[in-house]
Each structure stands twice: as C-alpha cells, then as structure tokens.
Amino acid sequence: MEELILELKKEIIEVLNLEGMTPDDIDNDAPMFGDEGLALDSIDALELIVLLEKNYGIKLANAAAGKEVFKSVRTMAEYVSKNRTK
Amino acid sequence: MAGSLVVTGMGIISGLGTGKDKTLQALFAEKSAVGPIKHLQTTHTDIPVSEVEMTDEEMKTALHIPQSQLVTRTPLMAMIAAKEAIQQAHLQENKPKRIAFINGTTVGGMEKSEQFYLDFLGNENHKEFIAAHDCGAGTDAVADYFGIFDMTTTISTACSSAINALIIGANLIRTGKVDAAVVGGTECLSKFHLNGFNTLMILDRETCKPFSKNHVGLNLGEGAAYLVLEKAEAAQLRGVQPLCELNGYANFCDAFHQTATSPNGQGPYLAMQGALADANLQPSDIDYISCHGTGTGNNDSTEGIAITRVFGEHIPDFSSTKAFTGHTTSAAGSVEAVISILALQNNFIPANLNFSEKMDEVDITPVTKTKRKDIQHVMNNSFGFGGNDSSCIFSKIK
Amino acid sequence: MDIFIQSAAQISIQNPLCDDWFENPIAHTEGYNRSIEPDYKPFINPMAARRMGKLIKRAIATSISAKQSAGLEQVDAIITGTGLGCIENTEKFLSAMVNEGEQFLQPTYFMQSTHNTISSQIALNQKCNGYNCTYSHRGTSFESGLSDALQQMLLGRINNALVGGHDEMTPDYYNMLGKIGYWKQGELSEQILRQSSSKGSFAGETSVALIVGTNKTEHALCKLRDVDLLYKPSETALQDAVQRMLQQNNLQPSDIDALMLGLSGDCEYDAIYTNFANAFGKNTPIAWYKHIFGESFTAPAFGVYAAATCLAKESVPSHLLHNQKNEVKSPRNILLYNHFQNIDHSLILLSKC
C-alpha cells in the first residue's frame, strides 16, 4: 500500500501541476479537497478521474462518485488497489 | 432609453430545421431535435446531439456556392441563417449607409483543423485550411458572401457569444458608428468541444432535462441565428416593418470559477437585473424568461436561484428550449433570441421538455407544455464559461 | 467627452513591464521570438498559477501592472482582444485527441483553451463582476476591444475599462503559419524589414494592457479620440473614413504629426501602407513598431501603446521612424492605421493630453 501511495502522490503532483511540491509534502490522511490540505477543486477531481481511468483502468460513472474516493491519498490508494484492472 | 432600437429581420438554422417557420412548427409540435450522431465523426457514438440536417455540400448548393470553394461548416450555417435575416430586413435592396456584421463563434474552423492537424504539422496537405482555423476567418467568409458589410468583428465568449454580439451591435448603432448591424452567432459541432464537454462530465446520455431534479447534463447542438438591428427611425425611413424592440441588455461577469457558476448565481443575477434597469422595466413587466437552462446541475440551480433573487415571489413563466435544439454554444444566445421573438410575435411560451420534478435547491417549475399567452416583454438569458453572463429583453412595438 | 489612455503595460520580445524599448530597443535577428518573461510571483500565487499557461500569466501581470499605474482599485469592464486565444492549451488538447484518440483527455486543457479564458481569468484574479468580453477577429481583435470600450464610455455605460491585446505564438503555430507565407526565412535585420522586398514578417508575441477612462488621472498618457474598423474598404472608402474621423474631431491633416503604421516588412502588405501614407500627405512622418515588437494578430496593441508612450514622452524617437531619421518633437496628434491582409482595417486617433 505504501508503494501505491507514493506512486499516486507522484502522479497527482504531475497531473495537477503542483509546482514545487514533493510526495513528502502530501499527508496520506489529510483531506485533498476543501479549504484544508491540498485544497483541490472540482476540476482537479475531473483530472483525478482521468488519472484513474488512464493508469488503473478504473471508470467512475460521474463526478459525484469521486467524492468518497478522493477523500485522502490513502482512500484513493485503497480504492485503486481494490478496483484496478491494470 | 433614447432612440429605440428595433429588430427588422431574423434568421435561424438548427436541428429543428432551416428558417423561422420550421422552428415555430417544431416548437408547437414539442418535438426535440436531439438524437444519435449522424454527421460528426467521433468514437463517442453514445452521446446524443442535435445536428443541422444538411451536409456541407447541401448547404453550398442551397447557397449557390461552388463545391470547390473552401468554406467550413460554421460559416456555411451562418450564411443560411443570416440570409433569411438580411432578406427579411431588405438590407440588400435598401442598404443602410454603414452595416456591421458582429459574429459570435468559438469553434471557428476547428472541425477541419481536427481532421487535418497531423497534416498541418507534418506536410503540405490541406494547408489551405490553416488560414480558416481562427474565429475571425469564418466571420469574414460570411461577410464576403453578402458583400454589404462595412465593418466586421468576432466575439468569442463561449456560450454567451451571440448575446454579446447583439450588445456590441446595439452600442455601435447607438453611438452612430454604424446604421445597422447583423448580429448573432454560429457554431458547428466539433470533436474538439464534444470531447471537451465530455471530460467535464456534463453531457447527458439521454435528451437533457433542464430544471428537472433528475437532470444530469447537457446535449450539444449546432446551429446559427442572426438578427438585424437598427434604430426605429431608420427602419421607418427604409420602409421596413420592425418585428420588435430591443429594449435592454446587460453583460456581467460571475468572476467565480472558469467553468462553474457561483452558488448564489451572482453573474446571472447581475445580468438579469442589469437588463431590467437598462430597459427601465420592473421585474413584474416580464411575461416570459427564455432561460439558459442547459440541464447541468450547476447551471440550472444557480440560474434558478438568480431568478428567485431578481423576481422574488412572482416568478414569470420560464422555460429552456435546450431540449429542443441542444446547447448550440456560441449560437445559443441568438438561436434563443429568435425563439424568444417568435414567442413574442405568436403569443406563446415554448415548452420546457422532459421536466419531471422540481430541483431540491430551488422551488421553481418551468412551463412544461406549450402555453398560449399574451406576451409584451421577454427576457433572454445566455451564460458562458468564464462566468460570461448576459441577458437581454425584447418588447412588442407599442 | 474626453477619453484618456491612463496607463499601459506590456510583456513582449522587449524588456517586460517597462519602457526600456523607448530608449534602447532590443534588436532581433531570428524569425521566431518568444516574449521575455518577468517574475510572476508578485502577481499570481503559485496555487492559482499552476493551471495557467504563459499567456494567462502575462495577461494577469500586465493587467495588474496597468491598473496599479492608473491608481485604480477596480475597473468597470474587462475587454480582451486575442487572435488565437490560449492556443498552447488548445494544441495540448487537440494533439492528445489526434494522437491518442478520444479518451483520457484532460479537462484542464479544454477549459483553458477557450478564447475567453484570458478575460475571465483576469476577472477572477481581480474579482471584477463588471462587463467582460473577448474579441477574436484576426488582425483587428485588439482594436475591436478598444472600440467596444470607447462606444460604452460615449454611451455612459462605463467610466473606465481594462483593454488588453494578448496572443502567444507556439512553435507549432509558428510553423503552420509559415506554411502559408507569414514569415521571412533566414537572418533578419531592421534593414531587411525596412526594405520590404519579400513576403512575410517576423513573429513576436503580444501582451498589452491599457486602462482607458473618462476621468483623467495624474499620469494619463494621451487622449483616445476615435477608433474605426473597416471591412475591405476601397481606397476611396478608406480616405473617406480618415476625412470623417479628422472632421469629427476638428482636425486638419496638417494637425497629424505622425502616422503610426502597421508596416511589417511584408512587401505586399507594406505597399498598402505606403499608398495610405501617400494619399494622406507625403510630408507626414511615418512611424512603425512591428520591427521591434514583431508581428502577431494583436500586434496593433503595440502601435497604440507605442503612440501613447510617444505622446506622453513628447517625442517620437528616431528608431521608430520609417521614412526619416529626425526625431519628431512634441507630437500633438498621431493617427494609427493597420490592416490585416488588406481585409480588416483599423484607424485610431490619439492626441496629447
């Protein structure tokens, strides 16, 4: 799981263009959306949905479905390990 | 407002058909033009759209343009719609001194660029389409077809482009820069923006359901529509019968997010409020609102909230015609302006198709069946990406 | 009613956010040039900047800079001219779609690709709910925006506006335009452009922001008297438009101390400027600006910026003059004329404050 978390962090930094950030700057359990933590927004959520589909073969039906999955990097990693098709 | 402005001609092409008569018939028949993709070459065959029936070749034939002549689909649709408007206003026979063509478009020549992009980059093939890529190229192609324009320009404010074209044309007439203006917008479907909207996950896989609790997104459509604007006195001097008055308009920016509207609908609120103030009308004067009503959760709830903020307890009859035509993006403002004026002239309110239940966010219900009603003033809303929000009001000639 | 250009800011192939070019312009010898980027940190926070392409950053930096120079807290309107919009993001989305098919496409590139992204990102950054509009009409995109602001001030709909001209030139778009004759080949010099003996020009990038308004501010640059857009005018129609503009502003041709023309080194298009100047009067000094800022769809914004700067500094320096060497001292009125491929033409009249 730790390996997958690190991999996801690297991908998140790249796809969301989080300039100057390293995986160490992202807390595994901190909220990704909202006012705290990474403070990502709805467009970031769409980018993460593309990331899941492209890199792990996971298709989310709609943007709302991302809410639970993208709570933190850890919840995202757990979801990926359970549902990945590649 | 000093020196009233009138509409002396209008023309339209959309999935509903070519011309005002076909459009009116389809509205009365409550028949949606949204269906499976026929023309656009895409792998997303499960996404319904509203396409203009005619192929490019058929449009060229209808316009007496040689098949060999390079014209992309967006200006072809514009020519058909503008021709109907120009003929109705007798602009060619009885030409005002200076005429402007103010055109709204965003896709421009993209439908060809996306086909030939690898050629553009790699070899000399199809390089003639490079010059047709930008938005202004199509505008000038339309101007050349008619040969009556003294100035042209192109507005690109995404889905509110056509209303903004109308606003700019009106201002140019008011200051005396021009004597008449042909204003509106045109947009063909492209793989580029179909995929773009798809990545935003706001496309409904069924016909859209504006203002309905079960709405899940919009349908893209293509089309073009234009209005001829001039001063009332100028129309009278030319002996042309005005169709209605352009009574007021406003453009504001939501300044909240690139693709989403603020929770309290600030931009739409300011646009509607501004148009009322410009027209010197009270909210209670409005008999019908032709809404932007795309069918996305974000648009419908924020537009609804903005409407309740402007109109309070007494919300006028309102409907979105997006389930008829699809969202014709840069053309939507003028497509719906033509529909609004048809409603004004024929005293009816077009149905908001596919409505089943009120949204949770706001307690409002659109007109769901075609309704006969005397209409004096109609408000037309158009909102776009980037929070570009505009509204205008058409009124019967007193 | 008097209308003023209160302030201006630019990012270009000259030193950014300053008037260094007025004394010491950088000479360019390459056909393809990118803008010199300033440090954007004072203008945009990094979290907001992460989705912004170069063009948006430039637009926000020039807008903030112009607003600060004019001493304005807020503007009534934000109006942008852009020939191509955010073409870099358009290309990213388009090439992914063409090369990898219609899947896994990134929404950010799409939503940042629309032309009005520039105006709306400025509005977002400045929290401005006022009028917001974008013109994308080839070589007269910027002048269309300037005309819009002018008409609205004349009608009393707004008192001031932020008007910008913004275009980037990506390597791919440069190559594409090269295929249809936009650019000269080989090493360039001002001399080669001045000789104008071959087709094409050289490429620059444009980011110019102006504040225009009805209440003169302390450091106002000049008066904006008139803007006219003309579609395929005959030579007579063009001269009539000039006459009309001068008459309406109570000026004689002899009151015009310099013409600021869109000469670019393209033999075909420069000939039209030469005809224009000859018809206007052979003795009027001719100034140009594309030799230092390069050609782009919104390059005419540099014309307005350069002419406004000359009026404010009371000099048209010799390096801006095309047909003579002697500096024009204390210019009172400058008439600007530009055309895009002899299709869309624009006339702008500026006067000293």
Specify whether the backbone of A16 is left (phi greater than 0), alpha (psi in -120 to 50) or beta. alpha
**CA pair distance B243, C67, nearest whole angstrom:** 43
Query: To 5 degrees, how large is the angle CA A34–CA A39–CA A45?
Result: 80
- Looking at chain C, list the stretches that DSSP marks H as alpha helix, in order from N- to C-terminal side: 20-23, 46-49, 54-70, 87-100, 107-111, 117-126, 141-154, 171-179, 190-195, 235-248, 267-280, 290-293, 300-313
Q: Specify which residues C248 forms β-bridges with.
A: none
Backbone angles phi, psi at B109, to 5 degrees: -95, 15
pLDDT at site B88: 98
Do C208 and C268 lie in a common domain?
no
Residue C180 lies in a domain: yes
Minimum CA–CA partner of A50 in chain B: B199
Interface of A with B in 25-84 (CB under 8 A): 41-43, 46, 49-50, 62-63
pLDDT at site A36: 76
In chain C, what residues touch A53 (CB-CB under 8 Å)?
103-104
Minimum CA–CA partner of C152 in chain B: B171
**CA pair distance B166, B229, nearest whole angstrom:** 8
Do C200 and C286 lie in a common domain?
no
Do C258 and C188 lie in a common domain?
no
Do C270 and C308 lie in a common domain?
yes
**CA pair distance B97, B181, nearest whole angstrom:** 11
Closest CA to C211 of C159, C278, C254: C159
Do C251 and C107 lie in a common domain?
no
The interface pTM score, or ipTM, of the predicted complex is 0.97
Asked if the Cβ–Cβ distance from C104 to A47 is below 8 Å, we say no
Do C239 and C202 lie in a common domain?
no
Core vs surface per residue C84-115: b (16+ CB within 10 A) or e = bbbbbbbbbbbebbbeeebeebbbbbbbbbbb
User: Tens digit of pLDDT for each residue in B227-274?
Assistant: 999 999 999 999 999 999 999 999 999 999 888 899 999 999 999 999
Do C162 and C299 lie in a common domain?
no
Backbone angles phi, psi at A52, to 5 degrees: -60, -40
- Could you tell me the residue ranges of all domains in chain B? 5-238, 247-395
Q: Which position has the token pair 């791919």?
A: C172
| Tens of each residue's pLDDT in chain C, 353 residues | 999 999 999 999 999 999 999 999 999 999 999 999 999 999 998 878 888 999 999 999 999 999 999 999 999 999 999 999 999 999 999 999 999 899 999 999 999 999 999 999 999 999 999 999 999 999 999 999 999 999 999 999 999 999 999 999 999 999 999 999 999 999 999 999 999 999 999 999 999 999 999 999 999 999 999 999 999 999 999 999 999 999 999 999 999 999 999 999 999 999 999 999 999 998 899 999 999 999 999 999 999 999 999 999 999 999 999 988 899 999 999 999 999 999 999 999 999 99
SS (H, E, C) C64-119: HHHHHHHCCCCCCEEEEECCCCCHHHHHHHHHHHHHHCCCCCCHHHHHCCCCCHHH
Contact between C35 and C11 (Cβ < 8 Å): yes
Do C12 and C111 lie in a common domain?
yes
pLDDT at site C47: 78
Contact between C299 and C290 (Cβ < 8 Å): yes
**Count of structural domains within chain C:** 2
Is A17 within 8 Å of chain B by CB?
no
Query: To 5 degrees, how large is the angle CA C94–CA C98–CA C104?
Result: 80
Residue where a domain stops, chosen among C187, C213, C239: C213
Residue where a domain stops, chosen among C157, C191, C213: C213
Asked if the Cβ–Cβ distance from A42 to B216 is below 8 Å, we say no
Do C303 and C201 lie in a common domain?
no
Do C172 and C82 lie in a common domain?
yes
Give Cα separations from B132 to B72, B76, B126, B193, C140 (angstroms): 8, 13, 11, 17, 16
Do C170 and C34 lie in a common domain?
yes
User: Tens digit of pLDDT for each residue in B341-365?
Assistant: 999 999 999 999 999 999 999 999 9
- Helix (H) or strand (E) holding B24, with range, is helix B20-29
Q: What single DSSP character describes residue B259?
A: S
Selected from 2.60.40.1120, 3.40.50.12370, 3.40.47.10, 3.80.30.20, the CATH number assigned to the domain covering B5-238 reads 3.40.47.10
Residue C218 lies in a domain: no
| Beta-sheet strands, E only, within C308-343 | 315-316, 328-329, 333-340
Q: How confident is the model at residue B1 (pLDDT cuts 50, 70, 90)?
A: very low
CATH architecture of B247-395: 3-Layer(aba) Sandwich (3.40)
Nearest residue, CB atoms, C106 vs list B124, B127, B199: B199
What Rg do the C-alpha atoms of chain C give, in angstroms? 19
pLDDT score of B2 more than 70 = no
Residue where a domain stops, chosen among C213, C247, C273: C213
Residue C269 lies in a domain: yes
Domain ranges, residue C298:
225-351
CATH number at residue C172: 3.40.47.10
Residue ranges of domains in chain A, CATH in brackets: 2-83 (1.10.1200.10)
User: Tens digit of pLDDT for each residue in B87-130?
Assistant: 999 999 999 999 999 999 999 999 999 999 999 999 999 999 99
Nearest residue, CB atoms, A50 vs list B199, B257, B258: B199
Do C195 and C112 lie in a common domain?
yes
- What is the amino acid identity at position B281? L
pLDDT at site A67: 84
